[in-house]
Structure 1
Amino acid sequence: MKNDHNPQQFGKLYIVATPIGNLNDITHRAISTLEEADLIAAEDTRHSGLLLSHYGIKKPFFALHDHNEQQKASVLVEKLQQGLNIALISDAGTPLISDPGFHLVRECKQQGIQVIPIPGACAAITALSAAGVASNRFSFEGFLPAKTKGRCDKLEALKDDSRTLIFYESTHRILDSLSDMQKVFGDERYVVIAREITKTWETIHGDNLPQLIEWLSAENNRTKGEIVLIVEGKPEDSSEEFSPQAIKALTLLTQELPLKKAAGLVAEIFGYKKNALYQYGLEFLK
């Protein structure tokens, strides 16, 4: 189909990250972009209206959410082709990260419309930075399936992944998801829950799965709010990771102590990860 529009006259689509909690986390560039845009596409116009009101920004809104994006993306593309500059925002954080926007961005790319990212807050990366879990290799998995069967199938597909895994989870499913992780990943997998990041009740707490579930269950408020889960990847099985001295110490200690405790002591003395030593012990010392 012939395109009669001149790409040089197209407007630009700006992907604008907004705060995930603390309103001071917005960037100067994000504010100026929102001020200069002709139209703001928002996941929830009422929610975003409060944010823009806080910064004294008054712009026309266009509702773009999961239920209408595939139908409405073409409408926004037409406006961009007419020369309007549009800013896309989500309820919080970076658009497209478990939020609407993919279909719009893809259609813009296909039509030769420039897409400009305005970086800022992202709950997944913010949680990872403070989790104390390996961050050199990670996989963002978004939300797990709502039903137990689908959730366990997804976890089974990930259980041997050595990368750190990042999930978003809802208040009413967090305990069920952690319980399924325990079934699939085992008791020793280390998980960090980061909730209400940058907000008043921010909490970042990590432990092995049984202990984490117990900790969350002890107080109802600990399961509330916006939740990110940072799951340590499966330790790579390799005896060459450990020095001969560490292996000897682990072998001797397991003759007198439970493997879990022995692995903890050796990890503390030699600077290795306890879970990796524990996995080694399960494979080679039992």
Structure 2
Amino acid sequence: MDISSASVPTPPAYREPLPRGVIIAATPLGNIYDASPRLLAALAQADIIAAEDTRRTRSLAAALGVEIRGKVISNFDHNESARVEDLIAAARAYSVLVVTDAGMPSVSDPGFPLVQAAHEAGVPVTCLPGPSAVPTALALSGLPVGRFCFDGFAPRKAGARRSWLESMRSEERAVCFFESPHRIAATLAEAAEILGSSRQAAVCRELTKTFEEIKRGSLGELAEWAAGGVKGEISVVIAGADGTAESSLEDIVERALERVEAGERVKTVTKDLAKEYKVSKNELYDAVIARRG
């Protein structure tokens, strides 16, 4: 679809000047027509726009037919802390609009340091609601998400990632997180090993874009699917534990103790059973040692 000539006029209701202070605004995840009328008006009226990528913000405004009149400055992960003092000073007298490349600022995106500092300094802070990958992925997952937690990006290092996944074993809320296409296969494989291959999940890829895809299934099935390679921006939703993890682990511990009493080494037994039942080797070992003690 050609959007280069798109022109969406600012509704009269939003022609009033923006208030002074910090204004965080959600931008489209992919489809620019998810931009709200309030975002269009803010882009046109803001005195200062703090953008994660100034070029992408200008391109978005141009595609929406909005002329930016204010000053546009960069505000991304590596410079936002240095920007805070100057932006807070400006926000005392002017409107400072904070936008990222896609979605809601401060939700695993730049914006949090400025919002926190504004509250502490008594500078007004408001939000123009809109697109966010988190509720979009939750809604599309087809999983029970009445209670959920969001964990940002999955840990990059293998050790930290395994510990993080192990913390989900008894988490009864659905868990949503972001992952890189380069690490999604490894993360899903480890999730299947640690949480159990039958635990349900959904991988939401390229949300609102042309090649949007929602892949649902068990962690085992998703790990096998991802092994072939996955591209794009990815959000993952893993269903909460069903409350049987502890009793299941207890059953495995009982079996382990029977083999240990028969003369086998604890490390050998826990390694074998952890692989067989798709549970954490370290957690099973600690549980067996605790019972023996």
Same fold, judged at TM 0.5 (above)? yes
> Distance in 1 between the 2:117 and 2:142 partners?
38
From 54, 71, 77, the equivalent of 2:82 is 71
- CA-CA distance at 1:13 after TM superposition: 1.0
Alignment of 1:192-211 (within 5 A): 192-211=202-221
Which residue of structure 1 aligns with residue 43 of structure 2? Answer: 34
Q: Secondary structure at the match of 1:145?
A: coil
Q: Which amino acid aligns with 1:166?
A: C
Which residue of structure 1 aligns with residue 172 of structure 2? Answer: 162
Q: Which amino acid aligns with 2:131?
A: A
- CA-CA distance at 1:234 after TM superposition: 0.5
Q: Which amino acid aligns with 2:242?
A: P
Does the Cα contact within 8 Å between 2:202 and 2:237 map onto a contact in 1? Answer: yes
Q: Secondary structure at the match of 1:172?
A: coil
Q: Which amino acid aligns with 1:98?
A: S
Which residue of structure 1 aligns with residue 151 of structure 2? Answer: 141
Which residue of structure 2 aligns with residue 214 of structure 1? Answer: 224
Which residue of structure 1 aligns with residue 266 of structure 2? Answer: none
> Distance in 1 between the 2:43 and 2:122 partners?
22
Which residue of structure 2 aligns with residue 180 of structure 1? Answer: 190
Q: Deviations over 1:144-181 (max 9, x none)?
A: 11111111111112221000000101111110111111
Which residue of structure 1 aligns with residue 121 of structure 2? Answer: 111
> Distance in 1 between the 2:202 and 2:60 partners?
29
Which residue of structure 1 aligns with residue 274 of structure 2? Answer: none
Which residue of structure 2 aligns with residue 126 of structure 1? Answer: 136
Gap runs ≥5 in structure 2? 1-18, 246-293
Q: Secondary structure at the match of 1:149?
A: helix
> Distance in 1 between the 2:225 and 2:182 partners?
16
Does the Cα contact within 8 Å between 2:54 and 2:72 map onto a contact in 1? Answer: yes
- CA-CA distance at 1:124 after TM superposition: 1.0
- CA-CA distance at 1:97 after TM superposition: 0.7
1:226 aligns with 2:233: yes
- CA-CA distance at 1:228 after TM superposition: 0.4
From 2, 21, 39, the equivalent of 2:30 is 21
**TM-score calculated relative to the size of structure 1:** 0.76
Does the Cα contact within 8 Å between 1:191 and 1:231 map onto a contact in 2? Answer: yes
In the TM superposition, structure 1's runs of 4+ consecutive aligned residues that sit over 4 Å from their partners are: none
Does the Cα contact within 8 Å between 2:184 and 2:226 map onto a contact in 1? Answer: no
User: Which stretch shows the higher mean deviation, 117-126 or 49-58?
Assistant: 49-58
Q: Which amino acid aligns with 2:185?
A: L
Does the Cα contact within 8 Å between 1:45 and 1:62 map onto a contact in 2? Answer: yes
- Matched-pair identity in %: 36
Which residue of structure 1 aligns with residue 105 of structure 2? Answer: 95
Gap runs ≥5 in structure 1? 1-9, 239-286
> Distance in 2 between the 1:27 and 1:48 partners?
15
> Distance in 2 between the 1:228 and 1:128 partners?
9
Does the Cα contact within 8 Å between 1:178 and 1:209 map onto a contact in 2? Answer: yes
1:190 aligns with 2:211: no
Q: Secondary structure at the match of 1:171?
A: coil
Q: Secondary structure at the match of 2:215?
A: strand
> Distance in 2 between the 1:68 and 1:91 partners?
15
Does the Cα contact within 8 Å between 1:148 and 1:180 map onto a contact in 2? Answer: no
- CA-CA distance at 1:191 after TM superposition: 1.1
**TM-score calculated relative to the size of structure 2:** 0.74
> Distance in 1 between the 2:209 and 2:91 partners?
35
> Distance in 1 between the 2:233 and 2:71 partners?
28
Q: Which amino acid aligns with 1:233?
A: G
> Distance in 2 between the 1:149 and 1:167 partners?
18
> Distance in 2 between the 1:127 and 1:165 partners?
11
